[in-house]
Structure 1
Amino acid sequence: MALAFAPPGDRHQVEEGTAFTPRFGPDGLITALAVDAETGEVLMLAHMNRDSLARTLETGEAWYWSRSRGELWHKGATSGQVQSVVEIRVDCDQDALLLRVRVGGDGGCCHTGRRSCFYRAVEAGPAGARLVPAG
């Protein structure tokens, strides 16, 4: 059975209280940023719905909602890159999550085979913006 999350209270309760009351968007999702627990390196950005967040809390492994596939996604179930959750932080208005994780398998997180999904930088120039390798 999935965990139930209480509805958010007033602003003071959300920002200063101890109740975890995640604020899911109109699409039922909350943004989740995964970072390496040791280095702080940003690994990936994904989304969670109530079920994936509950499974993450229950199992200690990261579960997400795949918007492209429209289904729950246990990170690493097929790749071996299981994300063991060390800590979950929530932002001030409880509408975004930061997951500090340890990654199994080859340590990668991106479906392209890279460690991080953020492997390119946006460079602005006279001809417009373009992507360049992140340094």
Structure 2
Amino acid sequence: MTEAKLFPKLDDNTALEESDILAPAFDADGLLPVIVTAAETGEVLMFAYMNDEALALSIDTGEAHFWSRSRKALWRKGETSGNKLRIAEIRTDCDQDVLWLKAEIKGAGACCHTGRVSCFYRSVPFGKEAGGKLVAVHTERHFDPDAVYGDPSKTKL
């Protein structure tokens, strides 16, 4: 991956934290972590990464684009499933090294490739009796992933 070049780099912390200049602090791999929540409910939908091109496309189109680390490719959320993310707002944190997208799910109403609303569909109980078991939070699937993506063993996240 190439070094981010579509956005300015600010070396001055005060300018980075207090100015009105978007200067994302991409990591050494040219990526920025992105948390996506539902604009209406605030529920966390997914976590992904953007490179400079994905961020620029997201800003230009209002649709979420990401960088797939496993496929090493740019992707528009919903290009296969039809479950696009229409961006309502993009926020950056104080040092511009994380993004928060508030988005509306279009299509079947599922953000996760498993067909569920959120990728965070299981809860991790805590305490001595938890036993390392996950508890399902979202069980309803809004679409059949096998019908959309084909053989799940060939789906590379």
Q: Which consecutive residues of structure 2, in runs of 5 or more, have no partner in the other structure?
A: 139-157
* 1:109 paired residue number: 111
Q: Report how far residue 123 of structure 1 moved.
A: 2.3
Contact 2:6 2:53 (8 Å CA) reproduced: no
Deviation beyond 4 Å, 4+ runs, structure 1 = 125-128
SS in 1 for 2:20: coil
The number of residue pairs the alignment matches comes to 133
1:42 to 38, 41, 44: 44
Alpha-carbon RMSD: 1.6
Contact 2:92 2:100 (8 Å CA) reproduced: yes
Question: Taking structure 1 as the reference length, what is the TM-score of the superposition?
Answer: 0.91
Partners of 2:6 and 2:29 in 1: how far apart? Answer: 18
**Paired residues for 1:1-135 under 5 Å:** 4-126=6-128, 129-134=132-137
SS in 2 for 1:123: coil
Q: Which consecutive residues of structure 1, in runs of 5 or more, have no partner in the other structure?
A: none
SS in 2 for 1:130: coil
Aligned residue identity for 2:68: S
* Bigger Rg, which one: 2
SS in 2 for 1:87: strand
RCO (CA 8 Å, sep 6+): is it higher in 1 or 2?
1
Q: Percent identity?
A: 50
